[in-house]
Chains A and B, each alone.
Chain A
Amino acid sequence: MKHLLSIADLDREEILAILDTAISMHEVQGRDVKKLPTLRGRTIINFFFEDSTRTRASFEIAGKWMSADTINLTGKGTSVSKGESLRDTVLTIDAMGVDMMVIRHPASGAPRQIADWVDCSIVNAGDGTHEHPSQALLDAYTLRRSLGDLDGRHVAIVGDLTHSRVLRSNLLCLRKLGAEVTLVAPPTLMPAGIAGWASTDGFTVSYDLDAVLPTVDAVMMLRVQRERMSGGYFPTAKEYAVTYGLTARRLALLQDHAVIAHPGPMNRGLEISAEAADAARSLVLDQVSAGVAVRMSILYHLLAGEGSAQ
């Protein structure tokens, strides 16, 4: 594996290998001295064309704990306005001899395009409304820790699915791990062509959260931006919260063992109530702490695995 661009590129075994390695990486996190020599002498650029404190910090810590030299670069928005093409921008950095670029970009597909242009490894740290593979891997890791093997487990993903890169990666990842998936959102926030997609990839679409909740082992709530109201995606925040929010009332619909996930940042009172966010069955903070371990595992598989030594 040279790049991590999309969960679509990984098979089940590769996903499980990353999740299994993450278990030992997670142990490092519990130590007093959190340092492995694995990536000594390697240089990783965190190239963030879009702000993301959480993801950037997580990748940076992961790199440092593995003794890589990590450097952060920001490229606000795109460089279109500066007259320099994206290709020129990344070729300049690549020419400095880095081993890996971790790319966050507001445009879908940018990491894949960049991987075609440069020699170093590329990790997609979130591209537009396309994918966020490291998030999906850490979500799968977190769910596996609570539920065990995900084969046959039922996960609902709820919220602004059209604009969510987390959705696309999670959907692919959970399906590859054998989970049943149901997507829940108002029709206006379902990705285009969802019916055809659902029948090809074997998942279910529902507009009725109350009907879905009693059947799930996990419910993953996605952030809904209030700005979508002005785009005509839904009428009011109140209507959204009542219809699609994980309210205190809805918590009671869950099976006893069912867990709650949210990739953050949360809109408390909109897609998730405080009761749900802070419930004992909420995995929100576990997801954050798993983030570093899973990203250490990703760096390990891309930079320290066989094939990367030469």
Chain B
Amino acid sequence: MTPTAHQPTSPPLLIRGGDVLGQGVQDVLVVDSTIAAVGPDAADEAPQGAQRLDAAGMVVLPGLVDLHTHLREPGREDAETVESGSQAAALGGFTAVLAMANTTPVTDTAEVAETVWDLGRRAGYVDVHPVGAVTKGLAGEELAELGLMARSRARVRVFSDDGRCVDDPRLMRRALEYVRVFDGVISQHSQDPRLADGVACCHEGELSGRLGLAGWPAVAEETIVARDVMLAKHTGSRVHVAHVSTAGSVEVLRWAKAQGIDVTAEVTPHHLMLTQDLLTGYDPTFKVNPPLRPAEDAQALREALADGTIDAVATDHAPHARQDKEHAFVDAAFGMLGLETALPVVSTLMVQEGRMSWTDVARAMSTTPARIARLTDQGQGIRAGAPANLTLVDPDRRVTVDRARSRSLSRNNPWHGRELTGAVHLTMLRGRVTAREGLVWGEQ
């Protein structure tokens, strides 16, 4: 892949004195779309006119990859567009996002997949990889055209009915068998709809009892995770558990991995840091699916991410127009923003607190998600010859989140008013600076 014709590349850039993961403090030289050199001699190789960037105190990460983004286009361009969501992603340090299929129309054909792919290329801030629906119209009845989406220009490898669970075990089995041919993966929204009925809107437990809200019991997620790992074992296929939210699911994953079952899992920044106590005022900003859980679950998720039982952090960025959130709690839309805040949240909660190193962050937010989605030119690490997809992080910079300043078209930001430590300084996609100090390409 190369940048499209109307997107000029940046001039050569010498990034000086950044902390390059596993390699200590180094210089990184980027020429055209490639990392030309890493190391003490990089400056010698810099061509005439190369720009210099003082990266002392900063961390150089491979560009972040989000396995779970909702961009809302086509269909709900008032909430987000591929362009606005891509800008938010670039500002958040991402160089690739997987755009979920629950658009209008649903991404269940090669045509819609290619439309989203093209919109992403035209916007040019991040690589936008459409996720294909597992079933037609997300209806859970018939398989969507999985093979045609895989063979399309969009080269779809991740399939998901996200927002809904593929709850029919026979259909889930067939989907897993079918995608093996093209090395696809089924990303499951694990939630048994019979244990989590239509009016459910939060975690089921004492708090939901007091608030008079119908809840999802944790077991609605855990039974599907357990079933799916057994189906993955049976079919020999790859299953990916989207937005894990309970301690019980973590236990199932731990067991499955010990068995050698090919299962991967992601956790969102909000499930890592936020808990259900935020619901006492019935503010729909905190209404999300799966729901915010008790503190013990969040604790288990943090441990599982740190020890690798959970493979990746994914945002589940879910923008909603104001009018879709300003309803009674049970009627309001599910979801929260996440692209611009994911790295600062992980930095604050996992790195600053000593649970993860920046190398772990690179693994959970770039290398592993790229591998799960089979993205060949993302998550490649910082080495000569690799595509210049990288993210510069200022680990000590404090930011107070202001939802009004979001690049997303929506404002359902659960982090509003919080101070986080760690900020994205610069994002580069194939040698082109897509975001720098709060501005995106074209604004700098």
One digit per residue, 1 when the CB lies within 8 angstroms of any chain B CB and 0 when it does not, for chain A 113-132 equals: 10010000000000111110
Check if A108 sits within 8 Å of B327, measured CB to CB. Answer: no
The residues of A that contact B283 with a CB separation of less than 8 Å are 113
Check if A108 sits within 8 Å of B211, measured CB to CB. Answer: yes
A177 within 8 A of B: no
Task: Label chain B's interface by main secondary structure.
Answer: helix
Check if A110 sits within 8 Å of B204, measured CB to CB. Answer: no
Minimum CB–CB distance for A105 against chain B, Å: 6
B223 within 8 A of A: no
Residues of B35-76 whose CB lies within 8 A of A? none
Residues of B280-318 whose CB lies within 8 A of A? 281-284
The residues of B that contact A197 with a CB separation of less than 8 Å are 206, 209-210
A72 within 8 A of B: no
The answer to whether A109 and B329 touch (CB under 8 A), given A129-B212, A191-B209, A192-B208, is: yes
Docked pose: A108 CA to B282 CA in angstroms: 8
Minimum CB–CB distance for A163 against chain B, Å: 9
The residues of A that contact B327 with a CB separation of less than 8 Å are 78, 80, 85-87, 107
4 closest A-B pairs by beta carbon, nearest first, are A193-B206, A109-B282, A130-B212, A107-B328
Using CB atoms, name the residue of chain B closest to A191: B209
A84 within 8 A of B: yes
Check if A192 sits within 8 Å of B212, measured CB to CB. Answer: no
A168 within 8 A of B: yes
Q: Which A residues have a C-beta under 8 Å from some C-beta of B? A: 78, 80, 83-88, 105-110, 112-113, 116, 127-131, 162, 165, 168, 191-194, 196-197
The answer to whether A192 and B209 touch (CB under 8 A), given A109-B282, A112-B282, is: yes
Question: Can you pick out 9 interface pairs between chain A and chain B where the beta carbons lie within 8 Å of each other?
Answer: A85-B327, A86-B328, A107-B330, A107-B331, A109-B282, A127-B212, A191-B210, A192-B206, A196-B206
The residues of B that contact A110 with a CB separation of less than 8 Å are 282, 328-329
Residues of B203-224 whose CB lies within 8 A of A? 204-215, 217
Q: Which B residues have a C-beta under 8 Å from some C-beta of A? A: 204-215, 217, 281-284, 322-331
The residues of A that contact B207 with a CB separation of less than 8 Å are 193
The residues of B that contact A194 with a CB separation of less than 8 Å are 206, 209
The residues of A that contact B281 with a CB separation of less than 8 Å are 112, 116
The residues of B that contact A168 with a CB separation of less than 8 Å are 210, 212
Docked pose: A116 CA to B283 CA in angstroms: 10
The residues of B that contact A191 with a CB separation of less than 8 Å are 209-210
Using CB atoms, name the residue of chain A closest to B206: A193
Docked pose: A80 CA to B331 CA in angstroms: 7
Choice from B210, B214, B217, B331 contacting A86 with Cβ under 8 Å: B331
Check if B329 sits within 8 Å of A108, measured CB to CB. Answer: yes
**Beyond A80-B327, A193-B206, 9 extra complex contacts between A and B, CB < 8 Å:** A78-B328, A78-B331, A84-B323, A86-B327, A107-B330, A108-B330, A110-B282, A113-B283, A192-B217
